[in-house]
Structure 1
Amino acid sequence: TGFVVDKERGLILTNRHITGVGPVRATAIFDRHEELEVEVVYRDPIHDFGFFRYDPSRLRLTSAAEIVLDPAGLTVGSEIRVVGNDAGEKLQILSGTIARVDRNVPEFNSVYNDENTFYAGAGAGTSGGSSGSPVLIASGRAVALNAAGTDGAASSFFLPLHRVCYSLEKLRHGLPVPRGTCMAAFLFKAFDELIKVGLQRRHEEEVRAVFADATGMLIVDSVLCEQKVLRPGDILLRLESQVCINFVQLEERLDANVGSCLAVLVSRGGLEMELQVPIVDLHALIPRSYAELGLDVVHGLGYHAARRAHLPLDSGIYLARPGYIFESLNCDWGSLIISAAGKPTPNLDAFVKAIEDIPDRQYFPVLWYDLRDFRRDRQMKTGFAKMSRAWSPLRIWHCKKGAGDGPECWESMDMPLPSSLPRIPEPPGRAAMLTGGDKLVRSLQASLVTVRFRTDQRFVTEASDTGASEGVGLLVDAERGLILTDRHSAPQSLGDIEVTLAGSATVDGEVFFIHPLHNLAFIRVDPAALAVLHKGKVPLQSARIAKGAKASIRAGEDLHFVGFDNQGNTFSAEVKVAAVYLPSGKDEFPAWTVPRFRERNLEIVVLADTPEDARGGVLCDASGQVRAFFGQFDWQGARHGEETTEAFGIPANVFSPLIEALRKTPTIQPEVPSLDIEVAAVDVATLTRGAAGSLPRDWLQAVLRRCGQQGQVARAMRVSRVLATGASEAKLKAGDVLLSVAGKTIASALDIE
């Protein structure tokens, strides 16, 4: 919520956590549902308030009006109304009674927290959407600004308007809003509490002589590391020779003395001490520039994060939004990056210097702390991040205006791309090859690869919710670096692919082709990296794919599994084929609740004894000839909607035509003709009972003969779904049995293709 406080200048008051602290695009919806764009003109560096500005001349239907601010009207016992967008209802009116006006700031488990002000409290029961609402008294004046509430309780917290009025007056005159800080946060404590930490009774009497109704004083709660004069526990006795017991008086002196020193008298451990405390520009301690790279956003540490973690302001760079680069380290928001590429990063300029020459796709070391749990865990973390300049260039943003100079204006500057190419490590060659294992492992290790895919979570189209996956691939053309894998390992082309070949070298690749119907994809290794591997004599070998009758698999066959476990180790095991069937009916792969690939029209190979902990690999005969690719299939579980992954075999006769097509025309993606239907398997015995005499005898004999040769029950293909706007719309219907296509008898889903 926001409300107009100056109808002539178009100023809207709201919370700081609504205006945000970076570039903002915002729209205000007025009483008559008119929408106008608004701009940020001021946001307080500490207190939870800020101002938007709109163009009053553009209001057509809504009458110009403003709410008068009355800080002095905030008193205990006042009946109030909180008017605003509570719970997203656009206009709600909540009632309450001011219970107290001297509450210390509410503590929230976040980086930002208000300080050096009182808050008022009432049982108004405000919830989400009420942030920025005016707290009105009977006269219609606003006495406070709604700022927060307590989950599960009716307690609401209101910000007094003293600094709001001070800032508004400056804005009306087109002046900057000076804000000073002694880099210390104070709390209000009762006299009896302060006596326990050294306050003397005569100090209390001196205060009561000036403020007869006084109940306590201000004490330093925390200080920034840069504050070398004040200490936590110091009780504020006098400020510039004046008794100071409230935040309004304190902030008036701080704001009026930016850049100079204040004479402060404190009680420290029972002893009076006169101090000269420097007053710093508070606006200068709030980051007003940031860097954007690979969807990551970083800026200087800033006042609030430094205070919360009790770290110097030049400790490092704050990761405000993790993107493609730092998410690879599991480096989340709230992390403090202290070193990149072996260079310290105390501030934004140092960070830019450290990374500006790192080539795209080059790994570099990073040192960081996790500030979100810094009070408990202060262990430094290390890792390697991968540079990515494809998502966005290295862009530096600066805030040029604001407050007295008009609306904020954020300007960006793109840094030039580095001229150097990523360094490709020298491969270890045969030295890294597995020397143990059985004959099959040694013969296929040069063809088996591991695949790692990653994309930014905001650009997930077919990948898992995390945007990352790992799997197995098969090198089918060593000269061109062509790799067969599944859609679990290479779910979409928008992302980053890394391939580890022969267990000895990791290189970049690209998703070249994704099968539109089946769980298959082809990856192409970066040609420059492939040349280095060949030069380094890395033993790359194209897999031998079964052809002819061996390209299909029968139930009951004894085969060999060769692949990887979940730790990345290569192993082999003897396996038996339990079934080769088309999942149909209750066994079909279920549809996702979001648009995402689902396997269909594919006879999968199911093993009777799938090796435990097998991530993926191939099914081969005793000579090492690949009979099937053993890939990972993803689908959505029925109970809780969680993602389920399980490995099944894909016979060689499904993907071998694609391999041949890519070998003939390696730069052209193969065509995949389709009838745009889904089919299900139905037993011929059941079908003949329901359609007695209507099925051609020749077709029945052909299907029985074909299925018998495969060692399975005779089944027919029945249409289960017809894709709207597809090739078969208005031609085929659900329930149709496919007897033949182009004059060829249909006994399996593969026959259709």
Structure 2
Amino acid sequence: MSVCSDSTSDSGMYQQESASGASWSTLQERLRASVLSISSVIAMPFDTDRSGAHSATGFIVDTEKCIVLSNRHVMGPGPSYHKGTFFDNVEVHLQPLYYDPEHDFSFFRYDPAELRGFTPKAIRLMPEKVHSGLAIRVIGNDSSEKLSVLQGELSQLDRNAPKYSRQGDDCYQDLNTFYYQASTSSKGGSSGSPVVDVEGDAVALQAGGNTRSSSNFFLPLNRIKYALDYILRGEIPPRGTVQARFTHVTHVEAERLGLEEAAAVQEGVCMEGTTGLLTVNKVLASGPADGRLVVGDIIITVNDVAIPGFLELAEILDASAGSNVRFRVFRNGQFVTVGVDVQDLYSIIPTTVLKIGLCYLHNMSFHHAMCSSVPVSGVKMAKKDNVFIPTGELNGCNVIHAINNRPTPNLDALMEVLRSVRREEDILVHVKDYDDPRNESVFTTHLPTAGLSVRVFTRSIATGFWSFREFDGLAAPEPTSCPKPLDIATPATDSAVDSLSHAVDAVSLECKDPIANIKRGMVHIETRPICPADGHYFVAQNGCGLVVDKHRGLILCSTRLVANPTSNITVTFGGVLRVRATLACIHPLYPIAFIKYDPAQLSGGLMDVAIGDINLDYAEDADAPKPLKAGDSVTVVCNTENSGLVVHKTTVSRRQLISTSSCELCFNQRFFNTEPFMLSSGISATGSEFGVVCGDDGEIRGLWTCVPGCDHDEADVGHIGLDISLVLPIMRQLQTSDTAPDGVRILDVEFGYLSFSKASAFGITSAHVNAMTQESPNARSMLKVTKVLRVRPAGEASLEIGDIILSVDGNVVSRMDDVSCFYGRDSVDLSIVRRGEEVGLTVRTSPLVGSNTRRVIFWAGSYLQEPYPQVLQQASHVASRVHSFMFDKGGPTVRESTLVDMFVTDIGDTPIQTLDDVVMVAKQLKSTALEEFNNFIANNGPYISGKMPGCDVTVRVVRINGEKVVRSIQTNDHYYPAWQLTRGPHIDDTWVFELL
């Protein structure tokens, strides 16, 4: 049975009149002042909850203390914030006062000053009125529809707790309690609804439902009422546990397990008026019941009290927290008495979160341990990122149990280990994957100097809010910026160049074999993005690159590795020395990028690392290597998925025009006006993401690189070959300048091929064809404009769809590279054929700026940056230089997901045109009470409102298609402070984090 707590069900309209004669309309009028629609945002992934927003229901149970009852999974055990709305549209902020550590209920509190004259009413909790066949009504916000009323009839009162499911992850599971069942067909939004009888008294709490049927499940009110009594007195309800899960079985099932009725009665089992007994279903290792209770035990008595159901067991365990109880059980045909220590349940409920960048760590929780059948020990990764824990290293449910060979049974132990670690220093991490308990992962990681803040969040028992403090560990790296290389003896032969761990040769840097020289220039690259940028998520990448200028420290690689420009980059030379690097440039037209390292990091240690002396320093006025053509024999030096560096001889099969499309969800980089070469065979499309293509003489003729897809489609579009001449202009600029090059310019159109056989219809004459074939004897087609990327102002010369290109600056156009891009040229003279006539035009070129993102701002849960090239190419109108491209699932804008892929034009009353405007507004809107609020929460001071530091603000945006949108959001400066990530103008500048 598939059940989902977020997909509860209620349907129908109960129209009978109560036995007392009061009409349903009268009852509904009274209850409408008691039920709230709850809007919840789970700010951080925690325990078995993910971050995100959802709608639910709650109802008032005490007007004097302003207490609202709802589900545990509505509040969430981690940092969260909530708002309640009454039927009359009166809004209140809800303070997360208390959630039960085991069962699915929680209590909120509101500030009566926010009611503005509205008088709410409380619903009585009357668990004693429950009986089978009781007519009920579920009053809530079914499917987020305000005050939906659905009818049903309680048909089962002793159901075991439902098992909820969520694809791809575990989720919260209630245990050790009965549930009621009825068919009400309620859906999402009904969670937390009161289940009332015809007199308007609550008899149960809506909790979940079966998504494949109309069955719904309700939590009994007995333990809710027990907890409420303590809450009203300002106390914490005592809760005890033996870290075991019990299930209810019928008397018939107990007999099948060997327990005879006469023997059970003699031992003290109460048979009359009961439907069964409790059995032990699961015992957690290292818990109080481990070695004392055994799965399959039938519970007879506890402390000589008969235990016919969960309520009697819970009362004894809660009253015995911190002491020992006697279990009388039936086991293997015998009655056995065992003593079990009762543990305080709150002691195994995590209350602290370590947030490292976008990685969230906390103690292993009781519920997660119960779901995974593991001990309550270790540090769970509630969410992995790529700054601390690369996502490529791990899958499934991961728990850190050691760092640097020091055990980390809890978060305090882990933080103590991290206090002795410096940034950039390698950390050895031992991780258990409880989806594969037979194995564990052991890998190294490090925390780079450039990254987001590291904070510790701690839950306040008194208020339910979480205070924060900056983590006092992770010292700055050593003054010497380069890691020490391994002391490895020089190999006796050059055989070491046959694998990725070659390149250690302190004797000579010269190599006569050009292929071996290229292999010496191949390095391993790892990238870990700090945050989303340029429409890309923060996914770690690794692959190969080629050192093209060892004196300048320039490396050529695939765009796939650095598609996210906020990446922390490390380069490994010869498998023995790792150095930091920065992104120098992403080519805006071709799928290649340059990164830069400091050459000084490769010397001065125990040895010099040998790097191949790659010579691409062709004079600008000299002939670079000619483009490869079909049939040419080449040698490819590339990396493969499993074999390291390999050398493969093949031939060029053809040249083919490519034009990729951009994903509507993330605006990935487009590639167009490119005519790469394809290789015949022998190189795996998925196993080789970067390589060098050499001619028969060993001269570098081209590059073999992948055309990356987007984050929504992990499969690459394909692999292509690029002539080396295409990258030389950018490389020359990087060799002479410390700033990112921006001289790539295009004609604002896309080209396609028109065969000679169809050319005459466009007005192409034999003279035109003869001129082209004299320039390129193998030519059989001409270039035609197929798409206009930007409409130019009226009166400005421009190309039109259908134009045929004859020449550029007097040179006959015979191939795509002649018109694909221009470097540093503001205009070009074109000869074209338009509507059958030859025309001369002087056309201005437009800059095609590469990914030169140097600033990302995080405000109100949204990521903002300047529009990147892919956005500018698709936008019908650029309304501002501030583009909202992504949002955090726990942030204030999560409910306004339409504020994505838009240009921000106004925040409040302030017009927005630049990122500086956003910074100014963010500082103006920042709550002045933030520090006071945080200190108040950290000291467990009393608080009677759910309102957190922040403000209501109107945001105006313009969609990519030009549509204007207005949204109102409420910022949250406590859980989601504004910050910016900036990088200087130079190619070797690093990212700097700053709170606004």
Question: TM class by shorter-chain length?
Answer: 0.7 to 0.9
Taking the aligned partners of 2:745 and 2:87, their CA distance within structure 1 comes to 55
Taking the aligned partners of 1:198 and 1:609, their CA distance within structure 2 comes to 69
Task: Report what 1:683 is aligned to.
Answer: 754
Task: Report what 2:734 is aligned to.
Answer: 662
TM-aligned CA deviation for residue 470 of structure 1: 4.1
Task: Report what 2:485 is aligned to.
Answer: 425
Establish whether residue 161 from structure 1 lines up as the match of residue 221 from structure 2: yes
TM-aligned CA deviation for residue 230 of structure 1: 4.2
TM-aligned CA deviation for residue 523 of structure 1: 0.9
SS in 1 for 2:727: helix
Query: Is contact 2:544-2:690 (8 Å) kept?
Result: yes
Query: Is contact 1:105-1:115 (8 Å) kept?
Result: yes
Q: Deviations over 1:622-645 (max 9, x none)?
A: 3322121221113479xx967334
Alignment length (residue pairs): 733
Taking the aligned partners of 2:420 and 2:113, their CA distance within structure 1 comes to 49
Alignment TM-score, normalising by the size of structure 1: 0.87
Taking the aligned partners of 1:359 and 1:542, their CA distance within structure 2 comes to 36
SS in 2 for 1:372: coil
**Structure 1 segments unaligned to the other structure (5+ residues):** none
Match of 1:634 among 698, 705, 708: 708
SS in 2 for 1:2: strand
SS in 2 for 1:536: coil
Query: Is contact 1:428-1:505 (8 Å) kept?
Result: no
Match of 1:750 among 806, 814, 817: 817
SS in 1 for 2:185: coil
Establish whether residue 455 from structure 1 lines up as the match of residue 529 from structure 2: yes
Taking the aligned partners of 1:416 and 1:187, their CA distance within structure 2 comes to 45
Query: Is contact 2:484-2:605 (8 Å) kept?
Result: no
Amino acid in structure 2 at the alignment position of 1:509: A
Match of 2:552 among 451, 463, 480: 480
Amino acid in structure 2 at the alignment position of 1:481: G
TM-aligned CA deviation for residue 114 of structure 1: 1.8
Establish whether residue 342 from structure 1 lines up as the match of residue 400 from structure 2: no
Taking the aligned partners of 2:795 and 2:307, their CA distance within structure 1 comes to 84
Amino acid in structure 2 at the alignment position of 1:649: G
Q: Give the stretch that moved more between structures: 493-502 or 277-286.
A: 493-502
Residue pairs, 1:96-495, within 5 angstroms: 96-108=152-164, 110=170, 112-197=172-257, 199=259, 201-202=261-262, 204-205=264-265, 212-224=272-284, 225-227=286-288, 230-232=292-294, 233-262=296-325, 264-269=327-332, 271-272=334-335, 276-313=339-376, 315-324=377-386, 325-328=388-391, 330-332=393-395, 334-373=397-436, 377-388=437-448, 390-401=450-461, 405-421=462-478, 423-426=483-486, 428=488, 431=491, 434=495, 439-455=513-529, 459=532, 461=534, 467-495=539-567
Query: Is contact 1:676-1:727 (8 Å) kept?
Result: no
Q: Deviations over 1:663-722 (max 9, x none)?
A: 111x111123424613213337367523437x897x7765454344xx433523525122
Match of 2:646 among 559, 562, 571: 571
Amino acid in structure 2 at the alignment position of 1:345: T
Q: Evaluate the alpha carbon distance shift between residue 389 and residue 25 of structure 1 in structure 2; reply closer, same or farther with a 3 A threshold.
A: farther
Q: Deviations over 1:351-387 (max 9, x none)?
A: 11222332334332222222235xxx43333333343
Match of 2:662 among 591, 594, 611: 591
TM-aligned CA deviation for residue 159 of structure 1: 0.7
Query: Is contact 1:703-1:716 (8 Å) kept?
Result: no
Taking the aligned partners of 2:794 and 2:353, their CA distance within structure 1 comes to 52
Query: Is contact 2:650-2:679 (8 Å) kept?
Result: yes
Taking the aligned partners of 2:257 and 2:400, their CA distance within structure 1 comes to 38
Q: Evaluate the alpha carbon distance shift between residue 722 and residue 306 of structure 1 in structure 2; reply closer, same or farther with a 3 A threshold.
A: closer
Establish whether residue 68 from structure 1 lines up as the match of residue 129 from structure 2: no
Match of 2:584 among 512, 526, 538: 512
Q: Evaluate the alpha carbon distance shift between residue 145 and residue 706 of structure 1 in structure 2; reply closer, same or farther with a 3 A threshold.
A: farther
SS in 2 for 1:647: strand
Taking the aligned partners of 1:337 and 1:330, their CA distance within structure 2 comes to 13
Taking the aligned partners of 1:366 and 1:328, their CA distance within structure 2 comes to 14
Q: Evaluate the alpha carbon distance shift between residue 546 and residue 371 of structure 1 in structure 2; reply closer, same or farther with a 3 A threshold.
A: same
Query: Is contact 1:27-1:38 (8 Å) kept?
Result: yes
Taking the aligned partners of 2:119 and 2:807, their CA distance within structure 1 comes to 73
Q: Evaluate the alpha carbon distance shift between residue 116 and residue 301 of structure 1 in structure 2; reply closer, same or farther with a 3 A threshold.
A: same
Q: Evaluate the alpha carbon distance shift between residue 642 and residue 319 of structure 1 in structure 2; reply closer, same or farther with a 3 A threshold.
A: closer
Q: Evaluate the alpha carbon distance shift between residue 308 and residue 684 of structure 1 in structure 2; reply closer, same or farther with a 3 A threshold.
A: closer
Q: Deviations over 1:608-630 (max 9, x none)?
A: 44645644312222332212122
Q: Evaluate the alpha carbon distance shift between residue 732 and residue 12 of structure 1 in structure 2; reply closer, same or farther with a 3 A threshold.
A: farther
Amino acid in structure 2 at the alignment position of 1:663: Q
Query: Is contact 1:561-1:617 (8 Å) kept?
Result: no
SS in 2 for 1:549: coil
Q: Evaluate the alpha carbon distance shift between residue 122 and residue 550 of structure 1 in structure 2; reply closer, same or farther with a 3 A threshold.
A: same
Establish whether residue 497 from structure 1 lines up as the match of residue 497 from structure 2: no
Q: Deviations over 1:513-555 (max 9, x none)?
A: 1122221210112555333689424234234366643433152
Taking the aligned partners of 2:575 and 2:697, their CA distance within structure 1 comes to 21
TM-aligned CA deviation for residue 83 of structure 1: 3.1
SS in 2 for 1:40: strand
Q: Evaluate the alpha carbon distance shift between residue 271 and residue 91 of structure 1 in structure 2; reply closer, same or farther with a 3 A threshold.
A: same
SS in 2 for 1:551: coil
Task: Report what 2:691 is aligned to.
Answer: 617
Taking the aligned partners of 2:88 and 2:109, their CA distance within structure 1 comes to 18
SS in 2 for 1:166: helix
Query: Is contact 2:792-2:798 (8 Å) kept?
Result: no
Q: Evaluate the alpha carbon distance shift between residue 30 and residue 732 of structure 1 in structure 2; reply closer, same or farther with a 3 A threshold.
A: farther
TM-aligned CA deviation for residue 343 of structure 1: 0.7
Taking the aligned partners of 2:516 and 2:270, their CA distance within structure 1 comes to 91
Q: Deviations over 1:176-214 (max 9, x none)?
A: 222222443333232333345564534544699967312
Amino acid in structure 2 at the alignment position of 1:295: L
Q: Deviations over 1:80-137 (max 9, x none)?
A: 2333343444554433221110112223463642222111112223333332222232
Q: Give the stretch that moved more between structures: 343-352 or 262-271.
A: 262-271
Q: Deviations over 1:326-364 (max 9, x none)?
A: 334633453222211111111212111222332334332
SS in 1 for 2:817: helix
Taking the aligned partners of 2:189 and 2:795, their CA distance within structure 1 comes to 50
Q: Evaluate the alpha carbon distance shift between residue 218 and residue 648 of structure 1 in structure 2; reply closer, same or farther with a 3 A threshold.
A: closer
Task: Report what 1:653 is aligned to.
Answer: 725
Q: Evaluate the alpha carbon distance shift between residue 570 and residue 300 of structure 1 in structure 2; reply closer, same or farther with a 3 A threshold.
A: closer
Match of 2:133 among 60, 73, 77: 77
Q: Give the stretch that moved more between structures: 19-28 or 406-415.
A: 406-415
Amino acid in structure 1 at the alignment position of 2:589: L
Q: Evaluate the alpha carbon distance shift between residue 20 and residue 230 of structure 1 in structure 2; reply closer, same or farther with a 3 A threshold.
A: same
Match of 1:555 among 629, 635, 660: 629
TM-aligned CA deviation for residue 21 of structure 1: 1.2
Taking the aligned partners of 2:728 and 2:93, their CA distance within structure 1 comes to 58
Q: Deviations over 1:641-670 (max 9, x none)?
A: 6733422121122111111111111x1111
Alignment TM-score, normalising by the size of structure 2: 0.67
The sequence identity of aligned pairs, in percent, is: 27
Q: Evaluate the alpha carbon distance shift between residue 423 and residue 730 of structure 1 in structure 2; reply closer, same or farther with a 3 A threshold.
A: same
RMSD between superposed Cα atoms in Å: 3.6
TM-aligned CA deviation for residue 311 of structure 1: 4.3
